[in-house]
Structure 1
Amino acid sequence: MTEIQEKFGAVSKQYDSQRQYLIPCFNDFYHSCLPFIKTVTNAKTILDLGAGTGLFSQLVYEQNPHLQFTLADISAPMLSVAKERFDGLDNFKFIDLDFSNSDIPGKYDIIISSLAIHHLEDAHKQNLYNNVFKALNEGGLFINADQVTGRTMLFDSLYKYEWRETVSHSGLDHEALIQAFERTKLDKFAPLETQLKMLEEAGFTEVDCIYKNMNFAVFGGFKDANIETAVI
């Protein structure tokens, strides 16, 4: 986790400007879950785990400005950028949290995470999903926008090759590319199906993948959801 702190802290000021280069499916990846978040009509509180610069929270805030946001991250420089982003708003707070080996403080109606959990070993992923379930209020929603392995080794290799080729010709400067490729050494992807099962084992009864494009996937689950209360 120390290496993660160092590498992401070093790129904190440039992180947002590089996202659309490094995530070829950027718009769908970050926006596909918003209609589902909107269905939690009684939500008051939301936690962003591994919030980084607050990019994901920004998109949720634009749709749900009434929510009380808590942004948690292990990197102080990344959170510093998030604080600047939401400066002047009184419904945002920020906490320094290493969620790889800590309980989640507080209870929330919605918990989101993006491009953070794939840095954990599988056993720590399961432990985190257990903690997320405990930290959600009844009827709450968890969304994870992250990177996963392909279903087979062949597809996974093709996905990674295509990503590298795409970002190499995206217009991102050479130094940023080198840093991005170096950060991939910290990745510990797990299959989508494995993680859906982890969510079920944690206690989630309504679990699914909302969006997938090669290694990029958005998935999650509802806690004790009642389909009759859903907005359809």
Structure 2
Amino acid sequence: MTVADAFDAVAGTYDEARRRLVPCFDAFYGAAVEVAAPPLRAASAAGRTPEVLDLGAGTGLLSLLLAAAVPGIRLTLVDAAPAMLAVAADHLGAWGVPHRTVRADLADPLPPGRYDAVVSALAIHHLDDTGKRALYRRLPAHLRPGGVFVNAEQVAGPTPGLDRRYDEVWRERIRALGSDDEEIAAARARMAYDRPAPVAAQCDWLTEAGLVDVDCFFKEWRFAVFGGRAA
């Protein structure tokens, strides 16, 4: 089974568990929107339609939050799981948000064009480190000057001990929020495809790729929001 197959299998129920499995849901996604919003608002103020590329968009959760925060944006959603993209298209269509979906893997070439924001949530960690670095190197060519890349991501601890502690805290918190054995087992099965990397290393890779003002803007244990800006 591929990563896409694993997520297609839960496309219809995926969003139901997000607030349990991402215990810092509001702060995590809220930080991603806050970082992505300024260049989108600047594009609107300049009379342009703000363009957003959502990588590994899944059911469109981050795209919907961005559309609510900055009305008038146009979205391109990329994902390898067609059932997840179909759910995203339904959600965005119901809200009347202009969008297109592209079925592709994150290792594939990115959709042509330049974007005011390239965003991703809980997706790039499915690539190995070589794949992450290759993706990051492709980003500057797809960002408008001043455009931002924002990755709301699951990251590894910088040491094995901290990585184990991240996992312990995650289990404790999702239990407290109501996750049962079945839900945790299903999450663990999907996590078998995960290849997370520490946030500091990924910020270094973004800097090496040519982005500026690279930083980690939010972090709560294994959940981090980081990114940078096109010069």
Q: How many aligned positions are there? A: 223
Partner of 2:47: none
Write the mapping of 1:7-18 to structure 2, written as runs, cut at 5 A.
7-18=6-17
Write the mapping of 1:32-111 to structure 2, written as runs, cut at 5 A.
32-40=31-39, 41-43=41-43, 44-88=50-94, 89=96, 91-111=98-118
Shift of 1:90: 5.4
CA contact (8 A) 2:92 2:98 kept: no
Structure 2 counterpart of 1:120, from 127, 148, 160: 127
Letter in 1 for 2:193: L
Shift of 1:169: 4.1
Shift of 1:82: 0.5
- Cα distance in 1 for partners of 2:99, 2:10 equals 23
Write the mapping of 1:15-34 to structure 2, written as runs, cut at 5 A.
15-34=14-33
CA contact (8 A) 2:67 2:97 kept: no
Which ranges in structure 2 are unaligned for 5 or more consecutive residues? Answer: 44-49
CA contact (8 A) 2:157 2:163 kept: yes
CA contact (8 A) 1:50 1:71 kept: yes
Residue deviations 1:4-53 (CA, integer Å, cap 9, x gap):
01110011111111100100111100001323323213331001110000
Report the more deviating stretch, 98-107 or 20-29. Answer: 98-107
Report the more deviating stretch, 110-119 or 92-101. Answer: 92-101
Partner of 1:167: 174
Write the mapping of 1:176-191 to structure 2, written as runs, cut at 5 A.
176-191=183-198
Q: TM-score, normalised by structure 1?
A: 0.91
Moved over 6 A (4+): none
Letter in 1 for 2:42: N
% identical equivalent positions: 39
Residue deviations 1:57-105 (CA, integer Å, cap 9, x gap):
1111101111111111110000010011012525111111112233442
- Cα distance in 2 for partners of 1:176, 1:100 equals 29
Structure 2 counterpart of 1:201, from 205, 208, 211: 208
- Cα distance in 1 for partners of 2:24, 2:230 equals 28
Shift of 1:175: 2.6
- Cα distance in 1 for partners of 2:183, 2:112 equals 35
- Cα distance in 2 for partners of 1:103, 1:50 equals 11
Partner of 1:229: none
- Cα distance in 1 for partners of 2:64, 2:30 equals 11
- Cα distance in 1 for partners of 2:108, 2:75 equals 22
Task: For residue 187 of structure 1, give the secondary structure of its aligned residue in structure 2.
Answer: coil
Which ranges in structure 1 are unaligned for 5 or more consecutive residues? Answer: 225-232
Task: For residue 64 of structure 2, give the secondary structure of its aligned residue in structure 1.
Answer: helix
Q: TM-score, normalised by structure 2?
A: 0.92
Write the mapping of 1:125-136 to structure 2, written as runs, cut at 5 A.
125-136=132-143
Residue deviations 1:137-180 (CA, integer Å, cap 9, x gap):
11100000001111222111111111123223432343322110
